[in-house]
Amino acid sequence: MDASRRSVTIRLVLANTAAAVSLVACLGSVSLPFVGTPGAAGNEEEGSLSTGADPRPLLEQAIAQYGAGDYAGATRLLDQLIQDEPNNSEAYYYRGRAAYKLGDLEHALADLNSAIALAPQHAGAYYYRGRVHYRTGNYAEAVEDLGQAVTLDPQNAQAFLYRGRALYKLERYSEAVRDETQAIELQPGLADAYYYRGRAYYKLKQYFVTVADMDQVIALEPDNARAYFYRARAYAKVDAITRAVEDLQKALSLALPDNLRARAEALLDELQP
């Protein structure tokens, strides 16, 4: 290579080296973003789900807390899950159930509404929303929601039980009898279904059938004071006074609610002048 060509080559190498050194110097003062796998960054809030994380473990933990009766603890976990997974219908469903157990019916209703909006075929959400409506005295709404529940899950004995109770409150006694009968067919040992069916039969003036249903309640729950009280009322209607008096005395010896205790004492005074 002649001297002139060697001179040009040396100048090009030196120029490129200077440019590289200059670039490295500049980069030393620039903070480049870290590129890595999701969740690798260290600036996430402690305890929150990272983007793309599997929500199932947290949901399962919340369900376990709910099953253990720790409704407040379950709610805290579900709050966290909903913050990260705002379209998780099961999270709203279980948080609504927890609120129901805690007596917070307003928040229970809001969460169950969200669960149904996200999962319109969620039988459990309709069932619990129906129970919320029942407890708030919205019996027509309860009947509608519990009707949806039994349509989606015809094996839910509790849904028939509660719809029967709501129908009773609406004075639709024959329909109440049908629902409680369905609940009994699905779950023969369901004492509450016999109890509420017996009360509906009483309203329909079928007193002997009322006695039979209260017999079933007492066989299943020997200390059910309410069953003794309503069986006594039915006995009184068919002039079985001795049996009515015995049942009233038994009811009063048990934990009879105050509102029924006053009525039982009044009926006993009437039957034993």
Higher pLDDT: 260 or 24? It is 260
Higher pLDDT: 46 or 237? It is 237
**Residue 62 belongs to some domain of the structure:** yes
Q: For 218-237, what is the mean pLDDT?
A: 98
Q: 88-121 pLDDT, tens per residue?
A: 999 999 999 999 999 999 999 999 999 999 999 9
178, 176, 154: which is closest to 165 by C-alpha?
Answer: 176
Domain that holds residue 79: 55-116
Q: What is the pLDDT of residue 77?
A: 96
d(CA 173, CA 152): 24
Domains: count for the chain: 1
Q: 133-170 pLDDT, tens per residue?
A: 999 999 999 999 999 999 999 999 999 999 999 999 99
CB 147 within 8 A of CB 172: no
Q: What is the pLDDT of residue 55?
A: 81
**Residue 94 belongs to some domain of the structure:** yes
**Residue 178 belongs to some domain of the structure:** no
**Residue 47 belongs to some domain of the structure:** no
**Residue 192 belongs to some domain of the structure:** no
d(CA 271, CA 198): 22
103: domain CATH number?
1.25.40.10
The strand ranges marked E within 111-245 are none
Average pLDDT, the chain: 86
Q: What is the pLDDT of residue 30?
A: 35
Half-sphere exposure of 213 (CA within 13 A, CB side): 26
146, two tokens: 């519990």
99, 98, 97: which is closest to 122 by C-alpha?
Answer: 97
Q: 170-216 pLDDT, tens per residue?
A: 999 999 999 999 999 999 999 999 999 999 999 999 999 999 999 99
**Residue 214 belongs to some domain of the structure:** no
**Residue 19 belongs to some domain of the structure:** no
Q: 259-270 pLDDT, tens per residue?
A: 999 999 999 999
Q: What is the pLDDT of residue 47?
A: 37
**Residue 212 belongs to some domain of the structure:** no
117, 121, 141: which is closest to 129 by C-alpha?
Answer: 141
For the chain, give me the number of helices (H) and strands (E)? Answer: 14, 0
d(CA 236, CA 16): 111
